[in-house]
Amino acid sequence: MPALADNSRGIIMMVLSNLAFIINDTWIKLVSEGLPTGQILFMRGSISFAIILVAVFVTGAHRHWRSVLDRLVAWRTVGEIGATLLYLYALFNMPIANVSAIGQIVPLMTTAAAAVFLAEPVGWRRWTAIGVGFLGVLLIMRPSLSGFDVYSLAALASMGFITLRDLVTREFRPGMSTLLVMAVTAASITFTGAGLAIVEAWSVPDTRQVSALAAAAVLLVAGYGTSILAMRYGAMAVVAPFRYAGILFAVVIGYMVWGDVPDAATLIGTLIVIATGAYTFRREMRLAQQEPQPVPINQSSV
């Protein structure tokens, strides 16, 4: 019963995490109709950074600030900035469901990149799943005779940067403070937004835009927090597949807000990506259970 209760809490946290991220994307996409990208990043990032900074000092994580003076944190930050800029460029010009569907390729890209760059063993079954998954993404992107749509390519490229971020995060030493890494990320995105002011014309936001960006900032932090809780509460093999709930949320919100209705090719491609991603994840969990388990190391709780 305790394990069942923990898994149930983990599933709820994962679903809430995806809902928070999708609603955050919705607010950002709506605000983009009147504000430039840099101003959006700066305003949302400033609020997010303030929230995270309070959590850093409340939990005492600030005492370990030297832990983020690490080249891996720097590389993770590069991945986060690249992913954010490209993702927003795609989000502002594509249906939210399509961008979300392309995003589901990340687990497959991470598995492939880990095999190539970290020499992790990947058998033919997972390579086949990766190949089929990319075929699903092609169905979603649907290149024309003139080539791929630039916005779809931007969405796919942003997933490449997310893969870089996740691979680097895997290499963090035990005890790395999650809150401090989040604070560095929020600060870097805020400064990136400020830097875009050089080439953008900023305007005075109205009350609706400020409220939307404040809500987006809170939801962004909530999304990160609930995703962490999801993995701490439940077994990863049980909880992780529920990340695909984000697709359902994106389709529903896309229809309710913008009237977007995914066509048959997009839906089929999305189902292929989800199926191959779920298979790859299950396969990795099964193989991990067969390996000798290392001696547990005490990790920081923040």
Rounded Cα distance between 258 and 9, Å, is 32
Is 300 contained in some domain?
no
Is 146 contained in some domain?
yes
Among positive and negative, which fits the CA dihedral 86, 91, 96, 98? negative
> Do 17 and 239 touch, CB atoms closer than 8 A?
no
Residue in 300, 302, 271, 292 with CA at minimum distance from that of residue 137: 271
Give the range of the structural domain holding residue 162, as residue numbers without chain letter.
2-290
| φ, ψ at 184 (rounded to 5°) | -60, -45
> Do 189 and 38 touch, CB atoms closer than 8 A?
no
Is 297 contained in some domain?
no
Is 129 contained in some domain?
yes
Rounded Cα distance between 169 and 186, Å, is 16
Alpha carbon distances (Å) from 175 to 10, 33, 52, 73, 297: 22, 42, 18, 13, 9
Query: What number of other Cβ atoms are within 10 A of residue 37's Cβ?
Result: 18
Q: How many domains does the chain have?
A: 1
Rounded Cα distance between 181 and 189, Å, is 12
Is 114 contained in some domain?
yes
pLDDT score for 301: 32
Phi-psi category of residue 299: left, alpha or beta, with phi > 0 → left and psi -120 to 50 → alpha: beta
> Do 203 and 35 touch, CB atoms closer than 8 A?
yes
pLDDT score for 297: 37
pLDDT score for 300: 34
Taking only the tens of pLDDT, the chain with its 302 residues reads 446 677 888 889 989 999 999 999 999 999 999 999 999 999 999 999 999 999 999 999 999 888 888 999 999 999 999 999 999 999 999 999 999 999 989 888 988 988 888 888 888 888 999 999 999 999 998 876 555 689 999 999 999 999 999 888 888 887 788 899 999 999 999 999 999 999 999 999 999 999 999 999 999 999 988 888 887 777 766 787 788 899 999 999 999 999 999 999 999 999 999 999 888 887 777 776 666 544 443 333 33
